[in-house]
Chain A
C-alpha cells in the first residue's frame, strides 16, 4: 500500500483527465460520415458535424491503424509505417542539426570572446535569425541546384542548419560572457596557455549554456524538417503529411501531427535530461 501511496495520483490522473477532455472536445467538433441508403437504393455518404471534414478520434484510429500497428512496415514508397517515415526525417534532422552545432558553437564562442567580433556580426545575426525556414529553402535549392542527385538533400541540410543554428550561437555567446572572472583569474594565476584555458576552463564553464542552446536548436530543427520535406518532396513524415493531404486522406494528417508532436516532445525531454546533467555538474 505504501508503494501505491507513493505514486502521486494527481500527477498521473490529471493529465489523463485532460487527455480525455481533449478527445471529447475533438469528437464534438469533428465531422461524422454516415452511409445512407437513398430512395433509389444507392448508398451515399452524408457528412455532418461542426467541422465536417475534420476526422474524429475514432475515425482517425480506424483509418490509420495500419500505419501505427506496423510502424516500420514498408509496403510501397509512399505507403510505409509512420515511424519509418519519422526515421527518415530524423536522419536528415540529425545531419542538419550536427552541422548547426559544429558551425554554431565556435561562432558563439567568437561572439562571446571578442567584443569587436560581436559588434561586427551581432546585428547581422539578429536580422537573419527571425527568417522563416520557408524563406531559406528556395535559396538552398538555388545554391545546390548543380549538385546533381544530392541537391535536394543538401538544400534540406542547408535550411535545417541555417535555421537551427541561432539558439546555439546566442546561448553559447551568453555563456562565454557569463564565465565568472574568478575562474579566469585561476587560469591567469596558474599561467594556463590559451588553449588550456579554453579547454580546461572556458568550455566546461559554458557547457550548461551551450546545452540550453542545443536543446532549443533541436526543437527548431524538428520544426523545419516538415516544411523542408513538403517543399523538396523528400520522403519523410512531413512529406507523407503533404501527400495524404493531396490525396484527401485527412485522418493521416491528424496522425502525422500527433507523431510530429510526440517525437518533438521526446527529443526535447531527452535533451533536457542531458542539459540537467551538465547543469548539476556545475
Chain B
C-alpha cells in the first residue's frame, strides 16, 4: 500500500482574474521507507509542492494523503527541513531542538527529553556546538541542526526543501553523503526537493523530474538503482550513473523544458528623412519636418527556452 499519495494536485496563486497556475494535475505515490527526489527548475513550484505535503498550503484541487489520512494542515508527523534553515536565532542548537522535543513528547521525563536532544545533536556531529547560537554556525552546520530538529520530532516522513541550496559545492557534497547516511539509518521515508540532478541521484532511490512552470507537472519516475553507500569519485565514471543522469537531464531540457515564449512589443521607428543637399533652401524657416512622425511597428521575438 502506498504511504504518501498525491492525486491530481493543482495550485494557483494570485488575485482572481490574474491567477498563475503553478502546479497542474500533479500525482505521485511514495512507498514507506523510500527516498524520492523531485528535481526541477528554480521557480517551477517545487517548494509549493512540498508545502502541500507538509500542510502549510492546501491544494486548490486534488488530495494529499499520508497513511490513508488526508493532510489538511501542518503537523509534527511530517518533519520539514526548510531551505533557509528556519532555526530560531535566539535559541542555542540544543534549545532549538528541545523546543520541538518538549512540544512533542510532553510525557517523557526531562532527563529522557534531554537525552533525546543530545542523541540527535550527536547524530549530526555537532556535540561540540550544542550551546552555540545559529549565528555562530556555518551554513552547513545550521542545516545539520535543522535536519537534527526534524528527525528529533520522530516524523513519519521527512521533507527536505532544497536543504543544501545555499551551501558551497564542497560542503554540499559532504552534507549530501551525511544526510543520506542519516536518512538510511533512521529508515524514514524522505521526499527531497532539489534543482541539482546530481544531488538527487547521489541521495535518492527514485527521481521524479518536475517540468518548468507555469502549470508544472511531474515527469516519469526514474529509479536510481545504484548500490549504497554511493562513492562520489567512483560514480563519476559509472555508466549507470551517467545513463540515469542523461535521462533526467534530457527530460528536463526536452519535454519538461520551458515552452518557447514569444514576446511582441511596440517599436518606434527613428524619424530620419533623406535630404538632397544640392537643393538650395532658404536660410530661415526652410527646414522641412520629417513626414513620418514616430511611426510605430509591432515586432514579435521568440525567446528560446
Interface residues of chain A, those whose CB is within 8 Å of chain B, are 182-183, 185-186, 188-192, 196, 200-201, 204-205, 207, 281-282
Give me 17 other A-B pairs in contact (C-beta within 8 A), A183-B86, A205-B88 excluded.
Answer: A183-B88, A185-B56, A185-B74, A188-B73, A188-B74, A189-B56, A189-B74, A189-B76, A189-B79, A190-B76, A191-B74, A191-B75, A191-B103, A196-B103, A204-B88, A281-B89, A281-B90
Task: Tell me the nearest residue of chain A to B101, going by C-beta.
Answer: A190
Does B84 count as interface, using CB distance less than 8 angstroms?
yes
Contact, CB under 8 Å: B103 / A282: no
Does B82 sit within 8 A of A, measured CB to CB?
yes
Contacts from B to A (Cβ < 8 Å): 54, 56, 73-76, 78-80, 82, 84, 86, 88-90, 99-100, 103-104, 133, 153
Query: Given known contacts A191-B76, A282-B89, A282-B90, is B82 in contact with A182 (CB within 8 Å)?
Result: yes
Check A189 against B90 for contact (C-beta < 8 Å).
no
Closest to B79 in A: A189
CA distance A196 to B78 in the complex (A): 20
A282 and B82 CA atoms in complex are apart in Å by 19
Q: How far is the CB of A22 from chain B (nearest CB, A)?
A: 41
Tell me the minimal C-beta distance from A103 to chain B in angstroms. Answer: 25
Q: Can you list 16 A-B contacts (CB < 8 A)?
A: A183-B88, A185-B80, A185-B82, A188-B56, A188-B73, A189-B54, A189-B75, A190-B76, A190-B103, A191-B74, A191-B76, A196-B103, A200-B99, A201-B88, A204-B88, A205-B88
CB-CB nearest in chain B for A185: B56
Question: Which residues of the partner chain B approach A182 to less than 8 Å between Cβ atoms?
Answer: 82, 84, 86
In angstroms, how far is the closest chain A Cβ from the Cβ of B106? 11
Task: Say which residue of A190, A201, A282 sits within 8 Å of B100 (CB atoms).
Answer: A190
Contacts A191-B75, A192-B103 hold; do A186 and B88 have CB atoms under 8 A apart? yes
Total A-B contacts with CB atoms under 8 angstroms apart:
47
Contact for A185 among B86, B103, B133, CB less than 8 A: B86
Please report the C-alpha to C-alpha distance between residue A281 and residue B104 in the assembled complex, in whole angstroms: 26
CA distance A205 to B86 in the complex (A): 12
- What 6 A-B pairs come out closest when comparing CB atoms? A182-B86, A188-B74, A204-B90, A189-B74, A282-B89, A190-B103
With both chains docked as a complex, state the minimum distance between the C-beta of A90 and any C-beta of chain B, in angstroms: 31
Minimum Cβ distance to chain B for residue A77 (Å) = 49
Q: How far is the CB of B104 from chain A (nearest CB, A)?
A: 7
Minimum CB distance partner of B103 in chain A: A190
Shortest C-beta distance, B41 to chain A (Å), equals 23
- Chain A residues near B104 (CB, 8 Å)? 190
In the complex, chain B residues whose CB is within 8 Å of the CB of A190: 76, 99-100, 103-104, 153
User: B84, B88, B100, B153 — which one has the most chain A CB atoms within 10 A of its CB?
Assistant: B88
The smallest beta-carbon distance between B159 and chain A, in angstroms, is: 9
Query: What's the minimum C-beta distance from B143 to chain A, rounded to whole angstroms?
Result: 13
Task: Name the CB-closest residue of B to A203.
Answer: B90
The CA of A59 and the CA of B218, in the complex, are separated in Å by 86
Smallest CB–CB gap between B148 and chain A, Å? Answer: 14
Interfacial chain B residues near A188, Cβ < 8 Å: 56, 73-74
In Å, the complex CA distance between A186 and B82 comes to: 9
Q: Report A86 CB to chain B, min CB distance, Å.
A: 35
Counting chain A CB atoms within 10 Å of each CB, the highest count among B75, B82, B99 belongs to B99
Partner of A189, one of B78, B88, B89, B133: B78
Residues of A within 8 A of B88 (CB): 183, 186, 201, 204-205
User: In the bound complex, how far is the Cα of B140 from the Cα of A271, in angstroms?
Assistant: 35
B83 and chain A: residue at smallest CB distance = A182
The smallest beta-carbon distance between B139 and chain A, in angstroms, is 15
Instruction: State whether B133 touches A281 (Cβ < 8 A).
Output: yes
Closest Cβ of chain B to A142, distance in Å, is 45
Q: Looking across the interface, which residue of chain A has its beta carbon closest to that of B73? A: A188
User: Which residue of chain A lies nearest to B56 when distances are taken between CB atoms in the complex?
Assistant: A185
Give A208's nearest chain B residue, CB to CB. B90
Closest chain A residue to B84 by CB distance?
A182
A208 CB to closest chain B CB (Å) equals 10
Write the nearest CB–CB distance from B136 to chain A, whole angstroms: 11
- Alpha-carbon separation in the docked complex, A189 to B150 (Å): 10
User: Which residue, of A190, A201, A204, A207, has the highest number of chain B Cβ atoms within 10 A?
Assistant: A190
**Residues of chain B within 8 A of A282, CB atoms compared:** 89-90
